[in-house]
Chains A and B, each alone.
Chain A
Amino acid sequence: MASRKKVLLKVIILGESGVGKTSLMNQYVNKKFSNQYKATIGADFLTKEVLVDDRLVTMQIWDTAGQERFQSLGVAFYRGADCCVLVYDVNNAKSFETLESWRDEFLIQASPRGPENFPFVVIGNKIDMEESKRMMWDQTMTDLRARSDLDIYIYDGVIEISQKRAMAWCQSKGNIPYFETSAKEAINVEQAFQTIAKNALQQEVEVEIDFPDPIKIDSDTSKDFGCAC
């Protein structure tokens, strides 16, 4: 595409709440991390310019609130995405198990052309967590769960999702690229997003443009706007 403009890519991040979607985005865009949990309400948006194979592109990252699924923002929200990132917490089995339904639902709502080729990326986050921290995390989530206004996922304890299992799933879905990251320690975040950008760019294929038919002028096409000119 012979455009002077940087291409803009719409990237949607999905996954259960608490898995670290917002943290990943913040780490990637702002190079910041906070231990505090701040539930995302509705959606957050961040923009970042990246170089992909010598090409400057703008990533428009759409971070969503996991708790209410697709209901909160409307179908139109997901329209025209160039890539969808599915995030789970490697320490939380349930967050992995729901990936399938996140993916399915995205495909239904966004109804992209050629769903079988639509670029997804799967991220297993929080690989930095050690046993002790996991216990603390467990406590945090218990506290949070007590708040009825936040529909927090049920933390299943310290069951690690084996890398093997995750990769098998990705493979079964048409070789979805898989990354294990830590938003906290900034491990692998850059690489994951690089792949996201690269795969999103594939969506930016050329569009067929027909020159519209010319106008035939005859008295049938009469247009009188009631003005003297």
Chain B
Amino acid sequence: MPTKSRPTTALVFGQQAETLQPHLLPPPLQDTESLSSDDFVLSASSSSSAPTGTATAAGGDSHSKVPSARSGLKTISDSLNQDDQSSESSDDADGRLTDTESEQVRARTRTGTPVIAGRTNNHHHGTTEHGTTTSSALQSLREIEEHDHEGRQTQLQGLESRFRTTTLVAQDQDLTSDGGDNQLKVLRPKPSSGSVGNNSLSSRPKSHLQRTASMKSYDSDDISNNHGGYQKHYGDEDHTTSAWTEHRKHFFILSSAGKPIYARYGDESRISSYMGVIQALISFFADNDDTLRCINAGEHRFVFLLKAPLYLVCVSRSGESESQLRDQLGYLYAQIISVLTQSQMTKIFEQRNNFDLRGLIGGTEIFLDSLGKLMNTYPGFMLGAIQCLTMPRELRDKVGAVLGRAKCKPLLYALLVTPTQLITLLRPRTHSMHPADLHLIFNLLSGSTTFESSESWTPICLPKFNNKSFLHAYICYIAKKVCMLLISPDKDSFFEMSSVKQKVVEGLEAGGMLASLENYAAAGTRGGFSVGDTGIPGLRHFLYKSRVNVQFTMPELTEPYATTTARKRLLRQYQNMNERMHRKTRPLKLLFHVGEQETLLGWVTSGFELYAAFGPLVSKSAVVLMSNKLLKWIRKQEDSLLILNSPSFEKFK
């Protein structure tokens, strides 16, 4: 039976002490160095000895030498060993990055050894994200290019096992921080304690609101109405069939007693035996004061996030790294907290450790499901950054001013969003909003259509803001794809929020802004802008994250990334790049990757992260040239692509 662990299974555990303590906040970005684009210029040297044909040939070459997983593994480690060497040879006087894929490239191509024709960026910043000074090297990772999906999987597996002892720390997004030491004061008349089925979530004054608003609550009965009887997509899937086992990524959430809470596929109660096995495994290590973190078995990776009284487990063969998967489990955990608050959950399990939590979160599985989906398609989770709607700054500022002037006392945050892109956010000067909390809001809106039809008023806990208490969100679509969120700590401020909305809508209409907002939102849902707008012919797609603003932007996903499958594949490519570049042992600043279907460039500085996809046969010098052009374009458009200074309410006093 399942507890028998096969000897082939590699267990990775221990080392939890320092590595389990991720950042509480996004990486410190107060790097005072100016980060103007000029500091990081890639330029192609027109060295005569480096005909563009070289790189092209290298790309084309790849078909003939498909390395096995083993050789891929070896060559990667070789190339890593040569990191230093390459940085030595690339000391560039003027601080500009030049492409010197000349002799080195050809020489190594001939012998089949990895090509490292990188240049060091001599702008060493004292601290990179991982606190290490690194030399960057343009690495041609032809050896791990993607020949077919499976091949890729195996190779990554190989890579991973090569670095298995390297435990990766969650990066930007740690969802586990406690809510801080906010001073809490009772503003709400304390509701009488009720039983589960009759808890205070559902005991709000419904009747006097019925005329104007539909009350959203997480009470299971309410939700089943609101969601028109939500049918979990794979809810009926039989876990004994291959369809179930073949899913690329499973999520399981269980209580620390081993009782099922959520399964991404199948009926969680019917797979309660698996939950028991998971609990037994965890318990086994817990007895020795050890923590089970990851099991790598064949092409599957089992990642554990222990957040007593909850355990979260991911079983994946998606090729994502341990830390990426653990981050995703962290988001699922945050989603549960947003429904219950941390304090409520802890209290419940302190009273009864055999508690069946499903009764309490019933109806919100839809948001766990949608989160699972969103994390496969929306790069914001991986980047720990949010996406803004592309629109002229002038309009954004004007809209922000309308919101700012509508401020009333209990209003804490006012947001306008297309479901997954931020239009503008008004906040108190002393409070910013964490991207992880915003992601939960995005997921709430995109996970259910229930908010599109009426004004809603719902309790929500934003764990980064405060995981002990609920805020209350007024949610209302004021135009197609334009959703307004007004967040208040006061549960009785529905009517005030509703009139704020009224004021804002009037203000926007008077200024003729609502119609243009709607247009931009419609365009934004498609992608906001296209790669064509950049005027760079070979460029197919890119992700640009401003680390200072914790925001990212990307163009519309057009051909060849128009299908969902292609999108997911591209995101996986970005994820692999991201993982490789942020690896704790040898973080990279630059990564050049020639894949079968595209050539990718990854570029990380303390100011930004760029991932760009080009055609498969593009030479490195061309990539360098285009990337510089792209950066210039982004800098020029920055104030419409990003929100460079989000206004605070105080500005409009």
- Interface residues of chain A, those whose CB is within 8 Å of chain B, are 1-8, 10, 40-47, 49, 58, 60, 62, 72-77, 79-82, 112-113, 203-229
B44 at the A/B interface (Cβ < 8 Å)?
no
Interface centre among A2, A5, A45, A215 (most CB of B within 10 A): A215
Measured CB to CB, the closest approach of chain A to B272, in angstroms, equals 4
Interchain CB contact under 8 A, B646 and A218: no
**How many angstroms between the C-alpha atoms of A218 and B489 in the bound complex?**
11
B471 — which chain A residues lie within 8 A by C-beta?
Answer: 215
Interchain CB contact under 8 A, B352 and A207: yes
**Chain B window 8-31, contacts with chain A (Cβ cutoff 8 Å), 1 for yes, 0 for no:** 000000000000000001101110
**How many angstroms between the C-alpha atoms of A76 and B260 in the bound complex?**
16
- Interface residues of chain B, those whose CB is within 8 Å of chain A, are 1-4, 25-26, 28-30, 180, 182-188, 190-191, 193-201, 219-221, 224, 255-260, 269-277, 279-280, 282-287, 341, 343-344, 347-348, 351-356, 358-360, 362, 386, 412, 422, 425, 427-428, 430-435, 438, 464-466, 468-471, 489-491, 548-551, 643-646
16 other A-B residue contacts (CB within 8 Å) besides A3-B362, A44-B3, A206-B195:
A2-B196, A2-B359, A3-B358, A4-B220, A5-B356, A8-B260, A77-B258, A80-B352, A204-B356, A209-B193, A210-B200, A213-B469, A214-B187, A214-B491, A215-B182, A227-B551
**How many angstroms between the C-alpha atoms of A49 and B270 in the bound complex?**
9
Name 26 interchain pairs, CB-CB below 8 A, sorted by A: A2-B196, A3-B196, A3-B359, A5-B220, A5-B269, A7-B359, A10-B258, A45-B1, A47-B273, A73-B284, A73-B287, A74-B286, A81-B354, A112-B354, A113-B351, A207-B351, A209-B199, A213-B469, A214-B489, A215-B466, A215-B489, A220-B182, A224-B431, A224-B432, A225-B25, A226-B28
Residue of A nearest to B229 (CB): A4
Which 6 A-B residue pairs are closest in the complex by CB-CB distance? A80-B257, A2-B197, A74-B287, A3-B359, A76-B283, A227-B550
Interchain CB contact under 8 A, B362 and A214: no
A76 — which chain B residues lie within 8 A by C-beta?
Answer: 256, 279, 282-283, 286-287
Given A4-B362, A44-B1, A228-B643, also A211-B276 (CB < 8 A): no
**How many angstroms between the C-alpha atoms of A8 and B423 in the bound complex?**
44
Interchain CB contact under 8 A, A223 and B272: no
Measured CB to CB, the closest approach of chain A to B395, in angstroms, equals 17
A41 — which chain B residues lie within 8 A by C-beta?
Answer: 1, 3-4
A73 — which chain B residues lie within 8 A by C-beta?
Answer: 280, 283-284, 287
**How many angstroms between the C-alpha atoms of A10 and B353 in the bound complex?**
11
Residue of A nearest to B471 (CB): A215
B355 — which chain A residues lie within 8 A by C-beta?
Answer: 80, 207
Q: State the majority secondary structure of interface residues on B.
A: loop
Interchain CB contact under 8 A, B185 and A213: yes
Measured CB to CB, the closest approach of chain A to B334, in angstroms, equals 14
Measured CB to CB, the closest approach of chain A to B458, in angstroms, equals 14
Measured CB to CB, the closest approach of chain B to A220, in angstroms, equals 5
Interchain CB contact under 8 A, A47 and B270: yes
Residue of A nearest to B428 (CB): A217
B195 — which chain A residues lie within 8 A by C-beta?
Answer: 1, 206-209
Interchain CB contact under 8 A, B353 and A80: yes
Measured CB to CB, the closest approach of chain A to B276, in angstroms, equals 4
**How many angstroms between the C-alpha atoms of A72 and B566 in the bound complex?**
47
Interchain CB contact under 8 A, B257 and A81: yes
Interchain CB contact under 8 A, B2 and A216: no
Given A5-B358, A207-B195, A212-B341, also A222-B431 (CB < 8 A): yes
B279 — which chain A residues lie within 8 A by C-beta?
Answer: 76-77
Measured CB to CB, the closest approach of chain B to A212, in angstroms, equals 5
Interchain CB contact under 8 A, B258 and A80: yes
Interface centre among A80, A205, A214 (most CB of B within 10 A): A214
A49 — which chain B residues lie within 8 A by C-beta?
Answer: 269
Residue of B nearest to A75 (CB): B287
Interchain CB contact under 8 A, B351 and A229: no
* CB < 8 Å neighbour of B283 from A75, A216, A222: A75
Measured CB to CB, the closest approach of chain A to B288, in angstroms, equals 8
**How many angstroms between the C-alpha atoms of A72 and B196 in the bound complex?**
36
Interchain CB contact under 8 A, B466 and A229: no
* CB < 8 Å neighbour of A45 from B272, B354, B433: B272
* CB < 8 Å neighbour of A216 from B187, B286, B435: B187
Interchain CB contact under 8 A, A79 and B358: no
Given A206-B196, A211-B201, also A228-B432 (CB < 8 A): yes
**How many angstroms between the C-alpha atoms of A52 and B195 in the bound complex?**
22
Interchain CB contact under 8 A, A2 and B220: yes
**How many angstroms between the C-alpha atoms of A226 and B347 in the bound complex?**
32
Interchain CB contact under 8 A, A229 and B183: no
Interchain CB contact under 8 A, B425 and A229: yes
A3 — which chain B residues lie within 8 A by C-beta?
Answer: 196-197, 220, 358-359, 362
A112 — which chain B residues lie within 8 A by C-beta?
Answer: 354
B193 — which chain A residues lie within 8 A by C-beta?
Answer: 208-210
Interchain CB contact under 8 A, A212 and B343: yes
